[in-house]
């Protein structure tokens, strides 16, 4: 039994777990070019907000190696161009542009192109390491909040394979396993591309955590029938007022939690907050292809030419969120004020660091 990892930097190579092949095949692939990295993010070979940020960071570190002879000024220009390209791979998870921004900032003081290249790689590794630590800390805070509660529902995959390790929403289950605390996890299948069924169930089984799969439409019934005591989800972007974008279907669960009077927790590192965005209305929501809905396992399940709406994230208004669990601590309602407090404590400037 082990917690699976999705991203590794081994001997100068970026290796990822191909999440499109799960659960049937556990295949690790090398991403060698910026185009490989872009494609892996777009096609969900690697997915989950923190994992996208880490992969893109390594992708930029790989990409800049090919800019050999330019002056520092020209080099900066190419770094920016590469970052814009990688940053356009997916719109909703803010960790992507956050990580790329951090890498660009990291070369401000470099005196040579070689030094700048080394600094970009070092910063990518730092982001990777920091995320693992952040997720473990989130797991600890979540365990405190879940004291006395063991039947927990989740959606999508906000697990180890969506981050450096441990995950966000799944961190308490992994950490709980390490500490001898058992949970019964109910995983929503998460249509249309089944991150819950394919990824969360696989990941928790690998780690020896008790997990039960339900379809998304069974959530309301299951909360009552199985005595679900809490819901915990990840996040792709959290606005300054606490409104949270996460996988489509998250809002349904938040409303159900309110109806059943059980806590609804969001777990996310500070890299998932976007303080430039005042509220959820301003979060860009990715729409993906119609085939994700009209087809299943390559076979049509709807008439040819069916009109489709396929938003892959929704926004849960802050009022439904019992607490937001970060590595800097647990943020309670009155989010507008309490989020700023956390960020002020983090850097002293209201900026995340
Ligand atoms: C720790 S990952 C948190 C979220 O990114 C996760 O729940 C989610 O919505 C991922 O969506 P995906 O489309 O699979 O990238």
**129-184 confidence digits (pLDDT tens):** 999 999 999 999 999 999 999 999 999 999 999 999 999 999 999 999 999 999 99
Percentage helix, strand, coil for the chain under 3-state DSSP, each rounded to 5: 45, 20, 35
The kind and range of the H/E element at 314 are: strand 313-316
Residue 353 in this model has a pLDDT that exceeds 50: no
Which part of the chain has CATH 3.40.50.10470? 138-348
**Which residues pair with residue 148 across a beta bridge?**
none
Which part of the chain has CATH 1.20.120.420? 7-133
Q: How far apart are CA 137 and CA 35, in angstroms?
A: 34
Confidence band for 302, pLDDT divided at 50, 70 and 90 = very high
Question: What is the reported pLDDT for 297?
Answer: 84
Q: How many Å lie between the centroid of ligand 1 and the Cα of residue 49?
A: 5
- Does any ligand 1 atom lie closer than 6 A to the CB of residue 50? yes
Determine if residue 47 is labeled as part of a ligand binding site: yes
Interface confidence, given as ipTM, is 0.98
What is the pTM assigned to this prediction? Answer: 0.96
CATH of 138-348, one of 3.30.2130.10, 3.40.50.10470, 3.30.505.50, 3.40.190.10: 3.40.50.10470
- Ligand 1 atom, smallest distance to 163 CA: 1
Residues tagged active-site = 236
Phi-psi region at 193: left, alpha or beta (left = phi > 0; alpha = psi -120 to 50) = alpha
Indicate the SS3 state at residue 167: strand
Q: How far apart are CA 294 and CA 111, in angstroms?
A: 53
Q: What is the mean pLDDT of residues 223-239?
A: 98
Question: What is the reported pLDDT for 350?
Answer: 45
Question: What is the reported pLDDT for 349?
Answer: 42
- Does any ligand 1 atom lie closer than 6 A to the CB of residue 93? yes
Whole-Å CA distances, 324 to 12, 47, 242, 275: 36, 21, 8, 15
Q: What is the mean pLDDT of residues 114-134?
A: 97
What is the average pLDDT value for the chain, to the nearest integer?
96
- Does any ligand 1 atom lie closer than 6 A to the CB of residue 165? no
Other beta carbons less than 10 A from residue 278's beta carbon:
13
Q: How many Å lie between the centroid of ligand 1 and the Cα of residue 93?
A: 8
Classify domain 7-133 at the CATH topology level. 1.20.120
């Amino acid at each position: 039994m082990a917690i699976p990892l999705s991203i590794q930097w081994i001997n100068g190579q970026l290796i990822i777990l191909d999440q499109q092949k799960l659960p049937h095949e556990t295949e690790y692939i090398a991403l060698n070019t910026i185009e490989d990295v872009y494609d892996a993010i777009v096609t969900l070979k690697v997915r989950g907000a923190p994992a996208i940020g880490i992969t893109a960071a390594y992708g930029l570190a790989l990409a800049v190696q090919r800019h050999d002879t330019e002056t520092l000024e020209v080099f900066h220009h190419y770094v920016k161009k590469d970052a814009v390209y990688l940053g356009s791979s997916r719109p909703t998870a803010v960790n992507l542009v956050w990580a790329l921004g951090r890498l660009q900032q990291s070369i401000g003081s470099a005196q040579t192109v070689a030094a700048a290249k080394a600094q970009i790689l070092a910063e990518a590794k730092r982001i990777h390491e920091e995320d693992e630590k952040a997720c473990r800390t989130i797991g600890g805070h979540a365990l405190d909040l879940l004291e006395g509660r063991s039947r927990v529902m989740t959606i999508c995959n906000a697990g180890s394979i969506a981050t450096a390790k441990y995950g966000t929403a799944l961190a308490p289950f992994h950490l709980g396993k390490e500490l001898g605390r058992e949970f019964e996890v109910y995983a929503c299948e998460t249509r249309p591309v089944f991150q819950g069924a394919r990824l969360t169930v696989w990941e928790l089984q690998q780690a020896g955590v008790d997990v039960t799969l339900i379809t998304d439409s069974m959530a309301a019934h299951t909360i009552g029938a199985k005595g679900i005591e809490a819901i915990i989800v990840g996040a792709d972007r959290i606005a300054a007022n606490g409104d949270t974008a996460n996988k489509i279907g998250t809002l349904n669960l938040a409303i159900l939690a309110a109806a059943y009077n059980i806590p609804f927790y969001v777990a996310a590192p500070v890299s998932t907050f976007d303080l430039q965005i005042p509220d959820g209305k301003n979060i860009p929501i990715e729409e993906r292809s119609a085939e994700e809905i009209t087809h299943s396992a390559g076979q049509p399940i709807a008439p040819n030419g069916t009109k489709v709406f396929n938003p892959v994230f929704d926004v849960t208004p802050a009022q439904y969120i019992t607490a937001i669990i970060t590595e800097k601590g647990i943020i309670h309602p009155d989010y507008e004020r309490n989020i700023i407090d956390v960020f002020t404590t983090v850097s002293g400037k209201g900026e995340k660091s």
